[in-house]
Structure 1
């Protein structure tokens, strides 16, 4: 019987996560911001400038924030890997016993656990990989890419934020409002459906959930903007 191997996508690098959250945040943030300002003021140029400012500020905030957080996480993991590498080099017996005990806790018989641990510890690179996966839950080469995560977050936030903003570049008033809401709704449905498909979840329910969240954010900010605008006026 031949071994059956299933290829899995790399979901540990940080780029996919940042892209998903970037697109969703960009869409939700800017449609809420645009409609919030629209509720307070119907001046088309004000809405346009606010949307552009929201896109630029949000994209840089998301990108830089993602870079900083991923960089800190990576440095912490690399520090722990260095500690583990030093322990394997200078205290191999203790690390072998530690690995043996980990397998025993998972139900492996003591003799077999000792044999497997001893075999794996013969190669320092293999030993580091096993200890990192067992103790830290990460492979040494899969600590994530801060640059990849930052670029993905920046680009996808910008793309999501641009969707409700585009109509205001070409038109104003009721037409721009309707197009902005319609495009944002379609984008929310598409994003939710894509997330459902990628994660093997029901596509329709994922799409409707994303649409409901976008509608809630837009309605609340529009209402607040309308109240603030009426009060200021």
Structure 2
């Protein structure tokens, strides 16, 4: 690969300088609004590190005979900082984590190109990339769980009975929900299109039930299996990092403990004690950085069976009246039974959400009514057209 020209090198150095200055400003802005003293101190240290990086890039510009620019605090830059603040501290920290990871990748790529033969820059790029990586991990620890699923997993890890049963319960509830909604729509549409002919509704309903159950089961199996494979890959990555640079991993582990409220001295001792068993250090790093632990992942076959059976149960409900009745009465009974089932499923969903049972049930009922009206109407329209 051809080395970049001096002009390209200047542009890259200038871009890096701007990025470091802007990042430092954001860290200082977040630190000013942070009430937790430990988090505030960490954000200030990160801002100082970014400012040191910016000074190094300024020095490089001077060595290249370039004037030191003045970074104007533009309207767009101020808007971005205000927008970041408006998201809340934890989400803002997540955004900065992504920015640090991006900077790490850019510095690594620039180091590979050697910036027009500037060998003295390579070492700075290497150390900067390592610092950006460390910043990203520290931010990950500061922000904590990023979404409701992760929050739920964190809670379930504290309560072992949830850890054993929480996953399949959620799979079962959402399986019933999916099967009921999908086949209720099919039954309503086919009933409208065929003038409520019993055998057509039964055939289409049973076919839809089978397809939905198999689809949900396959999806659940692949999802859980993929999560397990991701866990194994992350463990392998952490193991390689511990083997290559144990001191850095110990320092990171100490930082995680410090963020949990331990003193710096206690955190360092705990991390060093943990490092006496490299395998335990690997497991601890994976759980602290990524929230990954082996017992989180259920058996993929168990998840597949739970999803398939629950979907089939939900899908079978709208079909039941057509085994004993035909014509419009069967459609009406199927509608009533399905709407009641929608409310029941919505109410049960409140067991794994924070919503009240009646609000969740009402929402599901409303969705079911809209679905029935739309699909039955479409069926009538298609039936009339045919």
Instruction: Report if TM-score (shorter chain) is over 0.5.
Output: yes
Displacement over 6 Å in runs of 4+:
none
1:159 corresponds to: 313
Within 5 Å, give how 1:56-95 maps onto structure 2: 56-89=210-243, 91-95=245-249
C-alpha distance in structure 1 between counterparts of 2:363 and 2:265, whole Å: 52
Q: Is 1:168 paired with 2:322?
A: yes
TM-score, normalised by the number of residues in structure 1: 0.87
Q: 1:102 to 1:76 in 2, by over 3 A?
A: same
Higher helix share: 2
Change (3 A) 1:74 1:92: same
Name the counterpart of 1:194: 348
Residue 16 of structure 1, aligned match among 162, 165, 169: 169
SS state at 1:163 partner: helix
Gaps of 5+ in 2: 1-157
1:122 corresponds to:
276
Q: Is the 8 A contact 1:13 1:142 kept in 2?
A: no
Q: How many residues align?
A: 228
Aligned 8 A contact 2:170 2:352 in 1: no
Q: Find 2:373's aligned residue among 207, 219, 228.
A: 219
Task: Answer with 131-140 or 27-36: which moved more.
Answer: 131-140
Q: Which residue among 192, 200, 206 is the counterpart of 1:46?
A: 200
CA–CA separation in structure 2 for the residues paired with 1:15 and 1:75? 19
1:13/1:143 contact within 8 Å kept? no
User: 1:113/1:201 Cα in 2 relative to 1: closer, same or farther (>3 Å)?
Assistant: same
Greater relative contact order structure (CA < 8 Å, 6+ sep): 1
Provide closer, same or farther for how the CA distance between residues 121 and 16 of structure 1 changes in structure 2, counting only shifts above 3 A. farther
Partner of 2:187: 34
101-110 or 123-132: which moved more?
101-110
Q: Return the offset for 1:115.
A: 1.8
**CA-based RMSD:** 2.3
- Secondary structure in 2 aligned to 1:54? helix
* Cα shift at 1:175: 2.0
CA distance in 2, matches of 1:187, 1:59: 18
Q: Which has the larger radius of gyration?
A: 2
Is the Cα contact below 8 Å between 2:235 and 2:283 reproduced in 1? Answer: no
